[in-house]
């Protein structure tokens, strides 16, 4: 090692927003004051994944993992850890073992133990704004190999051996799409990277682009060489300014190094990449809508076939892949398809990055081998459900997916098993729900989303979605009937069959899946006018029981005049007609006398 | 007829240079609109009209594109834009409560601007920091794992 110590600071969006930048500046200042800059290097890296504990600072070589670091902690970190070699236990996540005083290795922390890093191989290890660091970790080695040693067929065969399937949602074999585009006859072709990441509650692609932008540039260039294209576009959400900035820096540096642009590495091959911004339309993640948007139009999908591989951007053959799919490719080509295929299941090879969020102790970004069980993810990596609550379900596939219940926690996760369970892999959002979450309410949430995002071109999606939402509204208001359930199934089925694109085809999935696993909860809303999770406001009632000592606090805090009545030192009573169900009384009562049913 | 004749704004040199750079690139409209919004913080009608003339694209088409995408604003936003994340992770952790509380504190509906023009309150879908749910952003600052009780203090900071 060139330096005695390395200090790595997570500079992903989450940590950056909690002052990672200030921590960096303070550390530099302290090191400079102690004349230590020649033996300690401070790096701003991509996301470590453990976002909930951010900002995170890692010190190498001894792998100290500091969490929730504040800018004012910089002084202590330098003076204690760097100068005196004493870890700052107060901030340490991996507290050292008492006898040996050796910090636990990071991969023995529950959160990291079961993870395998292929896509995120560089995230959190390199400074994404310095190309040399990417190169030092085998970056652009695959491109060199492709330019000088491999034919297009070799590349496609290697991808075939690897078994890589698209990570953007549908799981189409990546090699096949490559082959179709390669075989399409046209003097002009395009490579497109789908970085629209529309699934609310997911941020895998963002973290990859922020932590390791060159891996995507390298893969796109390789794709260009494979199919015979000289131009690539990255279509990225405008809501991701940091990722856009890192991509711009990376493109500039790659050009300076002769790894992008004209005559790459003197091979005679030209390839250029341009960034194009999305503008907040979920449907633009769908590939044909994305292409329409890239052309500067309203992002409306068109029926396939023809597929983009045949007729894509400006009518030319276009290879379009997701960010994570691309990020896998350089690793596959340097280490071999067989190496990649050792991870995963029969039908789904490699790893998958998930954004583990919701009611989970360690929420963050994880990469796991396909075939791992949900139980391992939720309880071993995620640390279980917080506040002693009971696990209820996990939603994969976002608004297009479905819920998986406790009965299926031991199913190995891969593309096909998730579909069998009535959900889907989607792009990698994994949202955990506990007993306080109402499945009818969550389905309504998803339907609101898809109705809002429907482009309106086809009527099954435009009208069907609205109708489904109206029924859910009725049910959560306590006005639902059995007939509504029948209608929802019917309409849902029609949407699945008749919608133009997968947005409409999959929009009913959250309802269909919750009806399959939680029909009793719908029935409770309809027949008993009750929300078992206590979430649907119109269906809950607050009561005061005999534990009330008549302290009058609730009556004082209640925002409705005269709603809570009672003499001092007497049990109080809530007037159900007047109650607006704000829950304030329950919150302020010190005697747990207010109950919600 | 007078009503439909749009007034043309004078383009800032920055925007003018941008349009010259992008004019001949296919599919440039969305990128140009992004630039307009970056400069003006929304897309004023007279600027859209000037862009239409300069790019040679009908104003109707520009409006067609602008209204399709949530990101483009047609009305002038307040001095500070507060976005409450209503992505799934944030919703489950109480994003809706943050929104309700902000509506009360600011006395404004969602997707509207306060009377004094200080704040625009909007609901957005996932800003990609789901590990910090629930959260709001004010301008470019993210406030994560946020209890409702901290909202007044945050508003205070921007009210000066
Ligand atoms: C409504 C809708 C939204 C989508 N959003 C995304 C997205 O945000 N990111 C993505 O990579 N793919 C998304 N897709 C899938 C793309 O259409 C396409 O399958 C994918 O980009 C192909 O890349 P892959 O083979 O590498 O997965 C979406 C599809 C639909 C129907
Ligand atoms: S759901 Fe709020 S940041 Fe993703």
Q: Which tens digit of pLDDT belongs to each residue from B53-87?
A: 999 999 999 999 999 999 999 999 999 999 999 99
Q: Which atom of ligand 1 is nearest to the CA of A501?
A: 31
In-domain check, residue A495: yes
Overall average pLDDT of the A383-401 stretch: 94
Q: Is there a single domain that holds both residue A333 and residue A240?
A: yes
3-state helix, strand, coil split of chain B in percent (to 5) is: 50, 10, 40
Q: Is there a single domain that holds both residue A169 and residue A299?
A: yes
Q: Which of A13, A298, A433 sits opposite B64 (nearest CB)?
A: A298
In-domain check, residue A113: no
Q: Is there a single domain that holds both residue A187 and residue A326?
A: yes
Sign of the torsion formed by the C-alpha atoms of A508, A467, A441 and A539: negative
Q: Is there a single domain that holds both residue A306 and residue A195?
A: yes
Q: Model confidence over A320-369: pLDDT tens digits?
A: 999 999 999 999 999 999 999 999 999 999 999 999 999 999 989 999 99
Q: Is there a single domain that holds both residue A171 and residue A265?
A: yes
Q: Model confidence over A95-144: pLDDT tens digits?
A: 666 666 666 677 677 788 889 999 999 998 999 999 999 999 999 999 99
Q: Which of A11, A25, A49 is nearest to A249 (CA)?
A: A11
CATH (domain of A586): 3.30.70.20
In-domain check, residue A228: yes
Q: Is there a single domain that holds both residue A165 and residue A264?
A: yes
DSSP reduced 3-state for A170 = coil
DSSP reduced 3-state for A128 = coil
Q: Is there a single domain that holds both residue A449 and residue A416?
A: no
Beta strands in chain B (DSSP E): 80-85, 112-113, 119-124, 136-138, 141-143
Q: Is there a single domain that holds both residue A56 and residue A185?
A: no
Q: Is there a single domain that holds both residue A459 and residue A324?
A: no
In-domain check, residue A492: yes
CATH (domain of A466): 1.20.1440.230
Interatomic CA distance for residues A518 and A48, integer angstroms? 36
Q: Is there a single domain that holds both residue A401 and residue A421?
A: yes
Interatomic CA distance for residues B141 and A530, integer angstroms? 40
Which domain does A520 fall in, by range? 439-527
Q: Is there a single domain that holds both residue A199 and residue A291?
A: yes
Q: Kindly identify which residue of chain B lies nearest to residue A399, measuring between CA atoms.
A: B88
The tokens describing A75, both together, are 């002084």
In-domain check, residue A484: yes
In-domain check, residue A326: yes
β-pairing, A351-358 with A429-434?
Answer: parallel
* Cβ-based neighbours of A100, under 8 Å, separated by 6 or more: none
- State how many domains chain A has: 5
Residues A107, A100: contact at Cβ < 8 Å? no
In-domain check, residue A70: yes
Can you state the angle between helices A482-498 and A519-527, rounded to 10 degrees?
Answer: 140
Interatomic CA distance for residues A297 and A286, integer angstroms? 14
Q: Model confidence over A409-436: pLDDT tens digits?
A: 999 999 999 999 999 999 999 999 999 9
ipTM: 0.93
In-domain check, residue A125: no
CATH (domain of A323): 3.40.50.11540
Interatomic CA distance for residues B43 and B22, integer angstroms? 18
Give the H or E element holding residue A516.
helix A509-517
Contact residues of ligand 2, CB 6 A cut-off = A 200-201; B 85, 87-90, 126-130, 133, 135
Residues A226, A147: contact at Cβ < 8 Å? no
CATH (domain of A47): 3.40.30.10
The tokens describing A487, both together, are 């209608």
Q: Is there a single domain that holds both residue A135 and residue A168?
A: yes
Chain B CB within 8 Å of residue A239 CB:
yes
CATH (domain of A374): 3.10.20.600
Q: Which atom of ligand 1 is nearest to the CA of A194?
A: 11
Interatomic CA distance for residues A536 and A517, integer angstroms? 19
Q: What angle do CA A257, A262, A128 make, to 5 degrees?
A: 35
Nearest C-alpha to atom 1 of ligand 2 is from which residue? B87
């Amino acid at each position: 090692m060139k330096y005695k110590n390395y200090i790595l600071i997570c500079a992903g969006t989450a940590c950056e927003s909690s002052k990672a930048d200030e921590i960096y500046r303070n550390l530099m200042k302290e090191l400079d004051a102690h004349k230590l800059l020649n033996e300690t290097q401070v790096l701003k890296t991509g996301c470590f994944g453990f976002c909930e504990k951010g900002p995170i600072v890692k010190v190498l070589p001894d792998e100290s993992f500091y969490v929730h670091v504040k800018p004012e902690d910089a002084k202590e970190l330098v003076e204690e850890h760097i100068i005196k070699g004493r870890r700052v236990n107060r901030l340490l996540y991996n507290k050292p073992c008492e006898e040996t005083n050796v910090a636990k290795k990071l991969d023995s922390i529950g959160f990291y133990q079961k993870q395998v890093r292929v896509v995120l191989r560089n995230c959190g290890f390199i400074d994404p704004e310095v190309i040399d660091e990417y190169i030092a970790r085998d970056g652009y080695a695959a491109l060199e190999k492709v330019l000088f040693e491999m034919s297009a067929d070799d590349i496609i065969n290697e991808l075939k051996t690897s078994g890589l399937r698209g990570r953007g949602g549908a799981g189409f074999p990546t090699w096949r799409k490559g082959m179709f585009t390669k075989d399409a006859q046209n003097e002009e072709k395009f490579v497109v990277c789908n970085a629209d990441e529309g699934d609310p509650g997911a941020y895998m692609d963002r973290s990859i682009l922020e932590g390791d932008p060159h891996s995507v540039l390298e893969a796109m260039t390789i794709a260009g060489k494979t199919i015979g294209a000289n131009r690539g576009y990255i279509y990225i959400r405008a809501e991701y300014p940091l990722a856009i900035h890192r991509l711009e820096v990376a493109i500039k540096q790659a050009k300076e190094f002769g790894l992008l642009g004209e005559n790459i590495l003197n091979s005679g091959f030209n390839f250029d990449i341009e960034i194009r911004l999305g503008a907040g339309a979920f449907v633009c993640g769908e590939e044909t809508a994305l292409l329409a948007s890239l052309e500067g139009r309203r992002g409306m999908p068109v029926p396939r076939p023809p597929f983009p591989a045949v007729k894509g951007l400006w009518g030319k053959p276009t290879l379009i892949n997701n960010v994570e799919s691309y990020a896998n490719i350089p690793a596959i080509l340097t280490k071999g398809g067989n190496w990649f295929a050792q991870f995963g299941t029969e039908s789904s090879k490699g790893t998958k990055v998930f954004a583990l969020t919701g009611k989970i102790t360690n929420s963050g970004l994880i990469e796991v081998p396909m075939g791992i069980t949900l139980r391992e993810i939720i309880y071993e990596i995620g640390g279980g459900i917080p506040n002693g609550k009971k696990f209820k379900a996990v939603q994969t596939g976002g608004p297009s997916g479905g819920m998986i219940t406790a009965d299926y926690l031991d199913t190995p996760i891969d593309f096909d098993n998730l579909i069998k369970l009535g959900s889907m892999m989607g792009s990698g959002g994994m949202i955990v729900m506990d007993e306080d979450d109402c499945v009818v309410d969550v389905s309504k949430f998803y339907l609101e989303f898809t109705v809002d995002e429907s482009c309106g071109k086809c009527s099954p999606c435009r009208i069907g979605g609205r109708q489904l939402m109206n029924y859910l509204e009725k049910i959560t208001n306590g006005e639902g009937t059995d007939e509504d359930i029948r209608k929802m199934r019917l309409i849902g089925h029609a949407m699945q069959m008749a919608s133009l694109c997968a947005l409409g085809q999959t929009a009913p999935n959250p309802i269909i899946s919750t009806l399959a696993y939680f029909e009793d909860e719908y029935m409770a809303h309809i027949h008993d006018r009750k929300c078992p999770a206590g979430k649907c406001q119109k269906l809950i009632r607050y009561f005061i029981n005999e534990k009330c000592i008549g302290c009058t606090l609730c009556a004082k805090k209640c925002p409705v005049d005269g709603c809570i009545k009672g003499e001092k030192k007497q049990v109080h009573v809530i007037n159900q007609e007047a109650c607006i169900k704000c829950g304030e009384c329950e919150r302020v009562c010190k005697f747990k006398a207010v109950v919600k049913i | 007829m007078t009503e439909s004749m749009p007034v043309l704004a004078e383009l800032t040199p920055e925007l003018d240079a941008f349009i010259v750079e992008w004019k001949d690139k296919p599919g440039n409209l969305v990128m140009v609109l992004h630039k307009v919004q970056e400069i003006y913080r929304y897309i004023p009608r007279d600027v859209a009209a000037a862009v239409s003339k300069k790019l040679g694209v009908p104003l109707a088409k520009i409006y067609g594109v602008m209204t399709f995408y949530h990101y483009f604003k047609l009305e002038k936003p307040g001095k500070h834009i507060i976005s409450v994340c209503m992505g799934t992770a944030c919703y489950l952790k109480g994003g809706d409560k943050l929104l309700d509380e902000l509506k009360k504190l600011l006395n404004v509906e969602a997707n509207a601007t306060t009377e004094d023009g200080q704040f625009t309150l909007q609901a957005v879908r996932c800003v990609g920091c789901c590990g910090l749910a629930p959260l709001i952003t004010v301008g470019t600052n993210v406030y994560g794992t946020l209890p409702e009780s901290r909202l007044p203090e945050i508003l205070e900071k921007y009210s000066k």
